[in-house]
Amino acid sequence: MALERGLKLAPPLKRSSLFLFGARQTGKTTLVRQQLPEALYYNLNEANVFSELSARPELIRKRLPPGPQTVVVDEIQKFPSLLNEVQATLDSRPEVRFVMTGSSARSLRRHGVNLLGGRAAQFRLFPFTTHEVGPGHLNRLLNCGSLPAFWGIEEPFDLLQTYAATYIQEEIRAEGYIRNLQTFSRFLEVAALSHGEVINFTKIGSDAGVPPRTVAEHFQLLEDTLVGYMLPSFHSTGKRKPVSNAKFYFFDIGVAHQLIHRHNLAPKTAEYGRALEHLVMLELKAWLSLARNQDELTFWRTYSGNEVDFVIGGHTGIEVKAKDRINDRDLKGLRVLHADSPLKRRIVVSLEEEAWSTDDGIEILPMAQFFSQLWTMGL
């Protein structure tokens, strides 16, 4: 049975057209076909559709029946110039709504497209969240990720490896930026080994055999093609100076693992802890997007080594600990940040069985309870 997605397209379509961005295999096509079955549908991945519209883009307007209509254009980055015709249609037919899906906003910007000048809202589709798959899937999420295309497969490691090895490079090649895919493959592996850590462009460049400037460009390309996220540093107004470089996380845990040929994580290992942190980051990203919450997601680390994994909007600090018993040492980063820049909430996401709070108000939450609170009550 297909899982119900948290993103609902009908409500925002009452107000305006929309862009739906997301990496391949996150379920964009399935979502629009399930939720908008009556829409006129153009898939630019189909050669005949692409050929016809690239020769006569005005057909997308001339074929419209009278009255309110919804039109889906799948993989709009394949033909960015089509947005000129979409904009002309919206100007002459304000009752029409377009849903344009894509796996890269970079292609649209590169061709000078203005994303319809505010006429279309932007939404992001993520792999399945814990809210969508339900409880009891922690080990599956940590080892295999949650790409919808592979969710129903018991051991999708071979498929994930193919996806990681071919899709990312094909998507990058389509951008027309990378000339040496072998060098880029080395960079991907080094990036996967260091994901979730503060980016050191010089070190990664040395390991991958490329200049630091190229490393920065490669990371930007991964972000533009929706393969990962930069997590910036939180700059508080206190006395302690935080590091300035960002962290980088891939968009799916399973894909990150397969880039370095890793699976079947053992509990209480460093890799397991990093995967838990990665999962929390992805959940926070998805929740902020679906809630249309504009709070910035950041991390905080000082040069002296104090750290908080995630800071939301400067008001909530979240530390992730793959431990079943939290002690005072685990709380130091949250306390130091709170003294430097007071927070409304301080949370430790852990493997403890029951929730409890410290005398100074730090909440210790079991992983499942944290996710439940996030998706039902927010932060």
Q: Are 246 and 230 in contact (CB under 8 A)?
A: yes
Burial 66-104 (b: 16+ CB within 10 A, else e): eeebbbbbbbbbbbbebbebbbebbeeeeebbbbbbbbb
Question: What is the per-residue pLDDT for 364?
Answer: 97
Question: What is the per-residue pLDDT for 166?
Answer: 75
Please state, in angstroms and as integers, the Cα–Cα distance from residue 335 to each residue in 190, 238, 305, following that order: 33, 13, 13
Q: Are 123 and 7 in contact (CB under 8 A)?
A: yes
Question: What is the per-residue pLDDT for 109?
Answer: 65
3-state secondary structure of 68: coil
Question: What is the per-residue pLDDT for 240?
Answer: 67
Q: Which of 21, 147, 17, 16 is nearest to 75 (CA)?
A: 21
Question: What is the per-residue pLDDT for 225?
Answer: 82
Question: What is the per-residue pLDDT for 5?
Answer: 94
Q: Are 164 and 259 in contact (CB under 8 A)?
A: yes
Exposed/middle/buried for 269, CB within 10 Å: 0-12, 13-18, 19+?
exposed
Question: What is the per-residue pLDDT for 263?
Answer: 78
Question: What is the per-residue pLDDT for 220?
Answer: 87
The answer for 117, left when phi > 0, alpha when psi is -120 to 50, beta otherwise, is: left
Q: Where are the alpha helices (DSSP H) in the chain?
A: 10-13, 28-35, 47-55, 59-62, 82-92, 106-110, 130-133, 138-144, 157-162, 168-174, 181-193, 201-208, 212-224, 253-259, 270-290, 332-340, 367-376
The answer for 243, left when phi > 0, alpha when psi is -120 to 50, beta otherwise, is: beta
Question: What is the per-residue pLDDT for 184?
Answer: 82
Alpha-carbon distance 379 to 189, whole Å?
Answer: 34
Average pLDDT, the chain: 89
Residues of the chain with pLDDT under 70: 1, 106-115, 168-169, 171, 174-180, 237-238, 240-241
Domains of the chain, start order:
10-124 (3.40.50.300), 130-376 (no CATH)
Do you know the residue count of the chain?
A: 379
Q: Which of 212, 209, 219 is nearest to 183 (CA)?
A: 209
Own/partner long-range contacts of 57-66 (Cβ < 8 Å, ≥24 apart): 57/81, 57/82, 57/84, 57/85, 58/85, 60/85, 60/86, 60/89, 61/85, 61/88, 61/89, 61/92, 61/93, 64/40, 64/89, 64/93, 64/96
Residues in Cβ contact with 1 at an 8 Å cutoff, skipping those fewer than 6 apart:
none
